[in-house]
Amino acid sequence: MTIFPIDSGRYGSKEIKHIFQENTRLKYQVNFEAAVAVAQARIKIIPIDVSEEILIAAKSNKITLERVKELEKISDHDTAALVEAIGEQCSSKSKPWIHYGLTSNDVVDSSTSMQMKDAFTIIETKILTLATILANKSIQFRSLPAVGRTHGQHASIIAFGLKFAVWAIEMIKHVERIEEGKKRFLLCKTLGVVGTGSLMGDRALEVQQIAAANLGLYPIEAATQVIPRERYAEIQFLIALIGSTLDKIAIEIRNLQRTEIGEVQEPFRKDQMGSSAVPVKRNPIKSERISSLAKILRSLVNVAMENIALWHERDLSNSANERFTLPTGMILLDEMLSLMTNIISDMNINTQRISSNLNMTNGRIYAEFVLDALVKKEMPRFKAYREIQRIAFESEKNGEYFSEAIKKDPVLADVLSPSEIEPIFNAENHLSASLKIIDNVSILVRNFIACFEEKNNHIDQ
């Protein structure tokens, strides 16, 4: 019976979950052992024919999870069981050299890095897909004036497309952070029991360099028995940071879908039910799910931070929780990115409601621009501010349109003529730098993705 919701198939793609399955993790660990043996043979620490036999055993698919678990029941040690299972596929000549000079966490931590490397490949692809969709939406709605809100109140006018441009550029920044951080957390360690290189002596660093290159990882500069957990905390923080941006987008969608605002609406399938009791409801459940999962991602950062301080060269107080934290974080982030991509792709945007909301305050949203016009007429700023505030509050009370109240007011009518007042109350005149910002972001996103793909195609070749 399934207990953990991820295992039920509810969250995460097959691709991301495959990386963290026990069988797949075993393959990462076996491949690591083989890569170290090949590196050791290259500089004549172990015989070449031994490394070849270990490599053949690693590729044989005969080292099974079932057998490793059987051996672990005897030894009560997962890495020892792994080494013994590899040894069963090798001759007596090769058995002594398997796992030579290594410690358990060389295998555990380096294979975790291999998992993270493959997981980030999936995550980065999904982030860039979302960034592209967001950039396209920003262009689609670049000239649509909308209410800009601060403190939940109407503040000024923005281009509706600017919302998407802000989100698109943050997606790009997340990929930049991941790429820049890889050299810090996609690490290979082969330095043995307490990080000295142990049985391999000063040649351990050369082994580590060769193995890291073959595995597509970076050699750790210095470590104890474990890779410093600051590195894992950074991964966990990046996962939470990306998730928090998705949460930010989800909260905006949820707010804009409120009945009172009604500017956007999540995709709603035929025959979908929004409420078991109220047939007419269309609840933003996907955005709410993203916000809910984001709370888990942020909580995992605290666990990762707690793991940084271990006793001496290491203890096991981090080990059990790390079996949950990174896999859970990656899988849930994958789910959140897929959800957000689907939401943004098919979201209904009510342009009529966006335009009508601009007029909800009877023109008071243009107060900033009236103030600017008075300042340019050399009225002292705070005198102008007080006069505008007075008229705005009176017109709100009286239900009068703000521009008409200004035209009738003896103080401001003496400064601004009707022909000067009218253009102020045209929303399209106040998009300011929005259009340029949106265009710049669109170009930046397109260029970044092109460079990213070119770089990765070069690495693959």
Residues assigned a catalytic role = 151, 275
Question: What distance in Å separates the CA atoms of residue 47 and residue 68, rounded to the nearest whole number?
Answer: 26
DSSP code per residue over 207-275: HHHHHHHHHT-EE-SS-SSS--HHHHHHHHHHHHHHHHHHHHHHHHHHHHTSTTT-SEE----TT--S-
Question: What distance in Å separates the CA atoms of residue 251 and residue 16, rounded to the nearest whole number?
Answer: 26
Rama region for 61: left / alpha / beta (φ>0; ψ in -120 to 50; rest): left
Element (H, E) at 441: helix 434-460
Using a CB cutoff of 8 Å and minimum separation of 24, what contacts does 254-258 make? 254/284, 254/287, 254/288, 254/291, 257/282, 257/284, 257/287
Question: What distance in Å separates the CA atoms of residue 8 and residue 209, rounded to the nearest whole number?
Answer: 40
Question: What distance in Å separates the CA atoms of residue 86 and residue 227, rounded to the nearest whole number?
Answer: 24
Which tokens in the block code for residue 227?
Answer: 């890779």
Phi, psi of 41 (to 5 degrees): -70, -35
Q: Are 374 and 388 in contact (CB under 8 A)?
A: yes
Question: What distance in Å separates the CA atoms of residue 346 and residue 340, rounded to the nearest whole number?
Answer: 10
Please state the separation of Cα 34 from the chain's center in Å. 33
Question: What distance in Å separates the CA atoms of residue 398 and residue 93, rounded to the nearest whole number?
Answer: 96
Q: Are 18 and 32 in contact (CB under 8 A)?
A: no
Strands (E), 292-447: 348-349
Question: What distance in Å separates the CA atoms of residue 23 and residue 26, rounded to the nearest whole number?
Answer: 5
Residue among 373, 376, 379, 434 at smallest CA distance from 403? 373
Question: What distance in Å separates the CA atoms of residue 214 and residue 207, rounded to the nearest whole number?
Answer: 11
